[in-house]
Structure 1
Amino acid sequence: MININIPGRSPYNIANIVFDYNGTIAVNGIISKSTREKLSILCNMADVYVLTADTYGSAAKECEGLNLTLKTFPKDNAADYKLKIVNELGKDKTICFGNGYNDIKMFEAASLSVAVLEKEGLCVALLKEATILVKSIEDGINLLLNTNALIATLRG
């Protein structure tokens, strides 16, 4: 569990970290070595979930060896599927990372949400629901590895 106490806000007790796959932790279906290393560290801090329609068919192979839960689903209704997962996990103890239109509903439900602007772009409509915007997945993961940066960004 990751406990974050931000002045001016209620404490966050993050038990679950939910990542969109394509465009968020993977670029063109591939997870970089450095992102993989950071994900491995996070997997020891909280329960990590990767949600994907697996556009490139590479998610299982790319997530192999990481202590996380990979959930694939049909390409239709991706937003509803992601929302259902976040609600089941407990939205008050879940942080979400994403970049796409189908991440909006899970961002609305999650305790904290991080919009990731990677090489595949970012859906502008997602920004309205994001708590934070980062320029890369590594920057986003670093917010959880060094929560002082997260605190500085969200302090009341």
Structure 2
Amino acid sequence: MNYWLMKSEPEAYSIADLQQQKETIWDGIRNYQARNFLRQMDEGDLAFFYHSNANPPNIAGLMRVVKKDIADPTQFEPESKYYDPKSSSESPRWQTVVVEFVEAFSNPILLSILKEEFSAEELMLVKQGNRLSVMPVPEAVALKILAMKTSYPFKSQ
């Protein structure tokens, strides 16, 4: 199993929305590196749900990949802001996954805490200027984050 971090602005789609809907297609990714990470995901992988552009930004919960290699339907919809006229159903440029709700953290893990605990080499999220919406999380880091959610409010030693 692999671990990932996937960002969404809570006003657009939040962990509460996923909890209510149970599962969703993770559409609208239009960065090639993020798309390539989506292509690497396998069913059963876990992803941290990160609320970006929140006050404060935080890991809000956990979700699981339940379907992989899905053509992002928004690339074919001319009225969508994610429409890609160079993409076709025969040769889609943008793939994604379907995720299901696993857990909302009762105490979200703040970005400021993540920056205290992890270097940019350990966790891409804390790298200065990183704007990727989908990124891998090494297993050792993921396990530490999972442990942090139960000991929060987390205090640095």
TM-score, normalised on structure 2? 0.30
The answer to which structure has the higher helix fraction is 1
Higher relative contact order (CA 8 A, sep 6+): 2
The structure that has the greater radius of gyration is 2
Larger strand percent: 2
